[in-house]
């Protein structure tokens, strides 16, 4: 993606779409692909801000870290994360689909990451898929906010210039068709 597409003035070459989920949360995204299906325009999008996930860090060395998927009961933990991020001039945003961090982040050096991954055993856990942004303590538990290293895509149906998050049954129904369309475009491009 070009540098112009990620500037904060919004005047770059890449169009943006505001996505809303069923709870009314919003997420500003870059439009990556437009896919017409069944009389609707579906959009493949990537968040403008950096997506992050909340992880409970295992207390024991041989314990397993746990990604916290359900954030409803995690507000006290997220409040601590807010304070830690503010020390780095970053803002935690409770967005549609995922938590995001707004502010100037150092981009991960992908060549360096690839070199690290090539040097590791193939039986490593999922920690290869994330980069730690911050680690903090809430109560007697360690947590971290991690940035996924794989691209984070969002699928939305465009209605009157606004993206409506495709969820549940609709997502299950159209996801294979969107993937097939994208595969076909890559084959012809």
Residue-by-residue DSSP string for 16-61: EEEEE-TTS-EEEEEEEEEEEETTEEEEEEEESSEEEEEEEPPSST
Residue spans per domain, the chain: 13-47+152-188, 50-148
Cβ atoms 51, 148 nearer than 8 A: yes
Q: Write out pLDDT tens, residues 105-129.
A: 766 555 555 555 454 444 445 556 8
State pLDDT tens for residues 37-79: 989 999 999 999 999 999 999 888 888 899 998 888 899 999 9
pTM of this structure:
0.77
- Who contacts 105 (Cβ-Cβ below 8 Å, separation ≥6)? 50, 90, 133, 147
Cβ pair 42, 158 in contact under 8 A: yes
Beta carbons of 52 and 133 less than 8 angstroms apart: yes
| Confidence category of residue 8, pLDDT binned at 50, 70, 90 | very low
Instruction: Calculate the average pLDDT of the chain.
Output: 83
Residue 29 reports pLDDT greater than 60: yes
- pLDDT above 90: residue 19: yes
Q: Are 92 and 81 in contact (CB under 8 A)?
A: yes
Q: Considering the domain delimited by 13-47+152-188, tell me its CATH architecture.
A: Roll (2.30)
**Structure token pair of residue 142:** 């360690």
pLDDT at 124: 47
Q: H/E element holding 170?
A: helix 168-188
| The predicted structure's pLDDT at residue 4 | 35
With cut-offs at 50, 70 and 90, classify the pLDDT of residue 185. Answer: confident
């Amino acid at each position: 993606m070009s540098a112009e597409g990620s500037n904060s003035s919004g005047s770059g070459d890449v169009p943006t779409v505001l996505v809303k989920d069923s709870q009314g949360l919003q997420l500003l995204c870059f439009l990556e692909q437009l896919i017409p299906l069944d009389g609707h325009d579906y959009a493949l999008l990537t968040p403008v801000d950096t997506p992050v996930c909340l992880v409970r860090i295992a207390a024991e060395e041989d314990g397993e870290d746990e990604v916290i998927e359900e954030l409803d009961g995690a507000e006290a933990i997220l409040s601590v994360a807010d304070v830690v991020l503010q020390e780095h001039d970053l803002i935690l945003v409770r967005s549609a689909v995922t938590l995001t961090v707004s502010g100037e982040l150092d981009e991960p050096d992908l060549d360096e990451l690839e070199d690290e991954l090539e040097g590791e055993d193939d039986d490593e856990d999922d920690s290869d898929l994330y980069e730690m942004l911050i680690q903090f303590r809430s109560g007697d538990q360690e947590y971290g906010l991690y940035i996924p290293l794989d691209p984070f895509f969002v699928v939305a149906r465009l209605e009157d210039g606004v993206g409506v998050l495709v969820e549940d049954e609709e997502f299950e129904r159209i996801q294979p068709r969107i993937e097939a369309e994208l595969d076909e475009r890559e084959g012809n491009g």
